[in-house]
Amino acid sequence: MGSQEVLGQAARLASSGLFLQVLFRLITFVLNAFILRFLSKEIVGVVNVRLTLLYSTTLFLAREAFRRACLSGSTQRDWSQTLNLLWLTAPLGVFWSLFLGWVWLQLLEVPDPNVAPHYAAGVVLFGLSAVVELLGEPFWFLAQAHMFVKLKVIAESLSIILKSVLTVFLVLWLPHWGLYIFSLAQLFYTTVLVLCYVIYFTKLLGSPESTKLQTLPVSRITDLLPNITRNGAFINWKEAKLTWSFFKQSFLKQILTEGVYDIVNNLGSLVARLIFQPIEESFYVFFAKVLEREKDATLQKQEDVAVAAAVLESLLKLALLSGLTITVFGFAYSQLALDIYGGAMLSSGSGPVLLRSYCLYVLLLAINGVTECFTFAAMSKEEVDRYNFVMLALSSSFLVLSYLLTRWCGSVGFILANCFNMGIRITQSLFFIHRYYQRSPHRPLAGLRLSPVLLGAFALSGGVTAVSEVFLCCEQGWPARLAHIALGAFCLGATLGTAFLTETKLVHFLRTQLGVPRRTDKTT
């Protein structure tokens, strides 16, 4: 498969991921608005923070490292060994769900059973949901590696919709079940999701059409189950060692640098989750399939190296422009957003300062996501280990800085410490990218440079909207607020128009890769 074809499929995967994120957020928003009419906000809070965090942390620790290591694009791999390795995510999921479930029940404060009944059952069922989802990991990997876009969209959309229907039914008919409602709905969601992948591959591999798919490494559904390979090795130890390196990295990131789960986080990182996460996930697959680990850029196929450099440059530019837009306009509209979202209780306290700080953090998140997306796809195992060592060495300084800044300026200090940490990670990735392309004619880091005209547009928009906030928001009533919004919309339009005229290379990339309909793959 050529690099251009892989790029096209990665772009479709990113756009489908964006669609699914928007669908999920929209359904969740409407569902929460409905549920709050029948159940207490405390129950919804326990589900959205405590139980969802348990579920996502279990999945992250059990499978993230396997996905990063196994999606690397060697065509000479023994697929049986790779699939065997992926099946290890299930027992790991059992371990993490049991351990984290014990933490959630024994070390964290248990909610009042009169306010949030059946909390222990909720912990068990959310942990079980994570394990069920991990049982489908080999099927998900095969679909992701071969970029079955339609399968991903149908499976996740159907699961989300059916989960929402079941939740509404249980809320209407059995509201006294409390956390049982959301726990059973979550278990139903993961079961449907896994069944969609299993049923699809069962039908595909049992049909005459499967013989036409020369790229598929399996010919029958039993080939996806754990089995002993011809050479007697159960797993590929090279992939296993790379997985261990990525696991150490994932564990450090999850334990040392993740935080801020409250309202400001949900508002501030909404755009980051909607836009950047699908791009990171999809283009990690692209870089991993196009580039070869262990090889210098000059020793690889130069067409692939050039395409990867061009894509990286465009993604960096997109991340920089998106992050700058959020930072510049978020500064002047944080207070208004919090006022609309939660009233004076949020907008009159420290909320606006927190959200403004978080807007800066989102800029760094955007750039870091793209740089690490490339870096982790191109690094060798030894380079991943060295990266982990640097992260571990910096963790103590991060914790000390968090303590000092939090004592000095409260919650804002924690966000600033995360900004510092993110800046260090970006710097490491930039050094790696610079070294990777140093002996080639390609300079993808040019994506972090903007034209003076566009920088001037951002500066002017930031100044105008900041003055507008002082005089028009937020105590002046709705007419003044609407004027503030209208002025911001005008500045945003002018800034985006300037970007359209000055960043022609990025516009061309978006048009050719994300904006042009492509022929649908018959296999999906």
- 82-107, pLDDT tens digit by residue? 889 999 999 999 999 999 999 999 98
> How much is the pTM?
0.70
Confidence at residue 493, expressed as pLDDT on a 0 to 100 scale = 95
Query: 3-class SS at 146?
Result: coil
Question: Is residue 521 in some structural domain?
Answer: no
Reading the block at residue 220, the tokens are 């029958």
Task: Give the span between the Cα atoms of 135 and 70, in whole angstroms.
Answer: 16
Task: Give the span between the Cα atoms of 52 and 21, in whole angstroms.
Answer: 16
Reading the block at residue 399, the tokens are 């914790």
- When pLDDT is cut at 50, 70 and 90, the band that residue 2 belongs to is low
What tens digit of pLDDT does each residue of 244-257 get? 888 876 776 665 44
Could you tell me if 403 and 345 are in contact, meaning their C-beta atoms sit under 8 angstroms apart?
no
Task: Answer whether residue 278 shows pLDDT above 80.
Answer: no
| Residue for token pair 């009419």 | 37
Question: Is residue 215 in some structural domain?
Answer: yes
Phi-psi category of residue 461: left, alpha or beta, with phi > 0 → left and psi -120 to 50 → alpha: alpha
Domain range for 108? 38-244
Confidence at residue 516, expressed as pLDDT on a 0 to 100 scale = 42
Reading the block at residue 148, the tokens are 């079955």
Report the half-sphere exposure of 366 (CA within 13 A, side-chain side).
27
Task: Give the span between the Cα atoms of 315 and 310, in whole angstroms.
Answer: 9
Nearest to 147 by CA among 250, 288, 246, 276: 288
The set of residues, in sequence order, having a beta carbon less than 8 Å from that of 383 and lying 6+ positions away, is 432
Query: 3-class SS at 407?
Result: helix
Task: Give the span between the Cα atoms of 271 and 191, in whole angstroms.
Answer: 29
**Cα angle at 57 between 53 and 60, to 5 degrees?**
140
Task: Give the span between the Cα atoms of 369 and 235, in whole angstroms.
Answer: 30
Instruction: For residue 221, give the DSSP letter.
Output: G
Question: Is residue 123 in some structural domain?
Answer: yes
| CB-count exposure of residue 495 (10 Å: 0-12, 13-18, 19+) | buried
Task: Give the span between the Cα atoms of 302 and 368, in whole angstroms.
Answer: 26
Nearest to 310 by CA among 450, 500, 505: 505
Could you tell me if 16 and 149 are in contact, meaning their C-beta atoms sit under 8 angstroms apart?
yes
Task: Answer whether residue 497 shows pLDDT above 80.
Answer: yes
If residue 132 lies in a helix (H) or strand (E), which one and from where to where? Answer: helix 119-134
Reading the block at residue 342, the tokens are 């939660």
Higher pLDDT, 120 or 516: 120
Higher pLDDT, 414 or 509: 509
Per the prediction, the chain carries an average pLDDT of 81
Confidence at residue 100, expressed as pLDDT on a 0 to 100 scale = 93
- When pLDDT is cut at 50, 70 and 90, the band that residue 470 belongs to is confident
Reading the block at residue 188, the tokens are 């139903």
Total structural domains within the chain: 1
Question: Is residue 352 in some structural domain?
Answer: no
Question: Is residue 423 in some structural domain?
Answer: no
How many DSSP H helices and E strands does the chain contain?
21, 0
**Helix pair 452-472, 302-342: axis angle to 10 deg:** 10
Could you tell me if 364 and 422 are in contact, meaning their C-beta atoms sit under 8 angstroms apart?
yes
Task: Give the span between the Cα atoms of 524 and 519, in whole angstroms.
Answer: 11
Could you report how far apart the first and last alpha carbons of the chain are, in Å? 17
Question: Is residue 71 in some structural domain?
Answer: yes
Task: Answer whether residue 273 shows pLDDT above 60.
Answer: no
Query: 3-class SS at 503?
Result: coil
What tens digit of pLDDT does each residue of 150-170 get? 788 888 888 988 998 899 899
Reading the block at residue 45, the tokens are 């809070």
Ranking 190-199, 280-289, 360-369, 444-453 by mean pLDDT, the lowest is 280-289
Query: 3-class SS at 515?
Result: helix
Ranking 174-183, 417-426, 471-480 by mean pLDDT, the lowest is 471-480
Confidence at residue 212, expressed as pLDDT on a 0 to 100 scale = 55
Average pLDDT over residues 298-309: 86
CA dihedral 119, 123, 126, 128 (to 10 degrees): -130
Ranking 85-94, 287-296, 311-320, 394-403 by mean pLDDT, the lowest is 394-403
Task: Give the span between the Cα atoms of 340 and 364, in whole angstroms.
Answer: 26
Task: Answer whether residue 277 shows pLDDT above 90.
Answer: no
Could you tell me if 175 and 39 are in contact, meaning their C-beta atoms sit under 8 angstroms apart?
yes
Task: Answer whether residue 136 shows pLDDT above 90.
Answer: yes
Task: Give the span between the Cα atoms of 250 and 244, in whole angstroms.
Answer: 10
Separation in Å, CA 382 to CA 22, 238, 293, 298: 38, 12, 11, 19
Average pLDDT over residues 349-377: 85
Could you tell me if 307 and 3 are in contact, meaning their C-beta atoms sit under 8 angstroms apart?
yes
What tens digit of pLDDT does each residue of 26-50 get? 777 677 667 767 777 778 778 877 8
Task: Give the span between the Cα atoms of 482 and 477, in whole angstroms.
Answer: 9
Higher pLDDT, 89 or 523: 89
Task: Give the span between the Cα atoms of 491 and 108, in whole angstroms.
Answer: 46
Task: Give the span between the Cα atoms of 208 and 203, in whole angstroms.
Answer: 10
Tally of CB atoms within 10 A around 404: 12
Task: Give the span between the Cα atoms of 357 and 283, in whole angstroms.
Answer: 28
Reading the block at residue 8, the tokens are 């096209």
What tens digit of pLDDT does each residue of 67-79 get? 888 877 555 667 8
Confidence at residue 400, expressed as pLDDT on a 0 to 100 scale = 80
Phi-psi category of residue 147: left, alpha or beta, with phi > 0 → left and psi -120 to 50 → alpha: left
Task: Answer whether residue 379 shows pLDDT above 70.
Answer: yes
Question: Is residue 402 in some structural domain?
Answer: no
Could you tell me if 10 and 512 are in contact, meaning their C-beta atoms sit under 8 angstroms apart?
no
Confidence at residue 210, expressed as pLDDT on a 0 to 100 scale = 59
Question: Is residue 120 in some structural domain?
Answer: yes
Reading the block at residue 337, the tokens are 């957003």
| Residue for token pair 């800085």 | 401
Task: Answer whether residue 344 shows pLDDT above 80.
Answer: no
Reading the block at residue 335, the tokens are 């207070």
| Residue for token pair 């005459």 | 208
pLDDT over 90 percentage in the chain: 28
What tens digit of pLDDT does each residue of 175-227 get? 888 889 999 999 999 999 999 999 999 888 867 665 555 567 777 888 888 88
Residue type, 151: L
